[in-house]
Amino acid sequence: MEKLVLQTIKKRQLLEPGDKVLVAVSGGPDSLCLLHLLHKLAPALQISLHIAHINHGLRPEAAAEAAAVKKMALQMQLPITVRRLDVKRIQRQQQLSVEAAAREGRYRILLRVARQIGAARIATGHHRDDRVETLLLRLLSGSGLDGLKGIPSKRPLAPGIEVIRPLYDVSRRQVESYCRRNHLQPLYDPSNKQPVYLRNRVRLHLLPFLEREFGPQIRRTLARTMDLLAADSSLITAWTKQAYAAAAETAENGQLVLKLDVLLALAVPLQTRIIRRALWQAGAKRITYQHIQQVLAVARSKSPAARCFVPGKIIVQREYNRLLVGYSEAEHFSGQQRVRVRLPGRTYLPWSKEWLEAEIIPRSRLTSLQAGPNAAYCAADALEQELYVRTRQPGDKVRLLGSPGSRKVKKILIDKKIPQHKRDRLSIVTNGEDIMWLGGIEIAHAYRVTPDTKQVLHLQIKSG
């Protein structure tokens, strides 16, 4: 087992000497096996470990699981960070399933902790059987090549931070056998046995059926298929980047623009990939096959002003020989909007016809924390993977710099005698879902720059 994991780490270049690794440990067999193995291999790999445990608060066993992981950290003499995740809040705010909301919040917390402790790698316990299950799930849902290649052995989560999967080539049976041999006592999630979840039906019914009908080697065969698909996908992704560079440009108002003469001259698979990339860059999430087809229909339409809407408040509209992706103009303002902040770079704010400039600078470069009008300095050490700028939402609350507690944004704006039309077009910068800055007013107290701050986010709103 140790030899196989070492081969995976070397072959797939998952770790380097000197790496600090944040190990995500739930208390289940996969993560306990991962932690035990990495702890055993750490001297040879010349790495240091830090445990992260996230309490999702969804099951009665959550507190016992957190206590068990803390106990193991104490036995191994490893540092540990425990965080609680409000899954239902994320589910409600982003309209996600419980599973998707848990995953979204989990990686958000892991990224924050990794930044706080200076870890360049986040290790998770995904193994070969997880990959095979994912392949079958995506095959059943009608995924394309990028979906069928399955879970990667590593992926960037943010600049300088990667998620790695050292158990990538290890089977579930090997994991369970390792736990028994080393007298580990994993905690089992009873929901993993409930057939209400599609993944569980694949694990409990479909895969055993395939093994009975086609032999026990089927899991290994499917894993090898995913490796082949991943190699093909990386080549096509490189072609897509080249084609996207030729087809895409940025308009004066900050929108993404696709040149239709270039786009429609490409092979259809490249067209769909370019459209998916453009939608993602504009801020769309959970992009489906149907969304791509809607955009393709607009691109091929004979109407010079055809348009469609994509979830995420994204407008795609044709303007003669161009395809505009994003918020076309301020007249499309419909009360609430949100766009991803380009960091570093300029982000167009369609509700106010202004620009937000953002960059991260070392704290040592600052001689003063007075940022000037319509500008702010925020601590950047605990930023999320994505920053957003948006208009205000009902119920927004924030504790401003120096304030004794949180207040409703609506009340803050009223007290400052800001006119209604300006309130509706106020730009609010958020770190994930947390408010960082009320544009032109004040930063949140939680993001103040302190003597311990190492990186500073400089924000400035400009017109024209």
pLDDT in tens, 393-402: 888 999 999 8
Cα separation of 116 and 113, whole Å?
A: 5
Per the model's pLDDT, the better-predicted residue between 370 and 112 turns out to be 112
Dihedral sign (CA 384, 390, 391, 393): negative
The secondary element (H helix, E strand) that includes residue 137 is: helix 128-141
- Mean pLDDT value across the chain: 89
3 state SS of 30: helix
Query: What are the chain's domains?
Result: 2-228 (3.40.50.620), 251-328 (3.30.465.60), 338-463 (3.50.40.10)
pLDDT of residue 236: 93
Alpha carbon separation from 415 to 270, 376, 424 (Å, rounded):
53, 21, 15
Cα separation of 329 and 384, whole Å?
A: 28
pLDDT of residue 253: 55
pLDDT band at 328 (very low <50, low <70, confident <90, very high): very low
Tokens of 267: 């092979």
Among 315, 344, 299, 322, residue whose Cα is nearest residue 250: 322
- What's the rounded mean pLDDT across residues 74-90? 91
CB 50 within 8 A of CB 76: no
Cα separation of 257 and 278, whole Å?
A: 8
Among 124, 106, 109, 117, residue whose Cα is nearest residue 162: 124
pLDDT of residue 97: 80
pLDDT at residue 464 tops 70: no
pTM of the model: 0.66
Cα separation of 339 and 184, whole Å?
A: 46
pLDDT band at 158 (very low <50, low <70, confident <90, very high): confident
Quick: pLDDT tens for 240-252.
Answer: 999 999 999 876 5
Cα separation of 204 and 197, whole Å?
A: 11
Q: Rank 44-48, 144-148, 231-235, 371-375 by mean pLDDT and report only the highest.
A: 44-48
Q: Which residues pair with 325 in a beta bridge?
A: 256, 316
Q: What does the DSSP assignment read for 409-421?
A: HHHHHHHTT--HH
- What's the rounded mean pLDDT across residues 68-87? 92
pLDDT at residue 371 tops 50: yes
CB 283 within 8 A of CB 258: no
pLDDT band at 304 (very low <50, low <70, confident <90, very high): confident
Among 429, 365, 354, 419, residue whose Cα is nearest residue 396: 429
- What's the rounded mean pLDDT across residues 115-142? 94
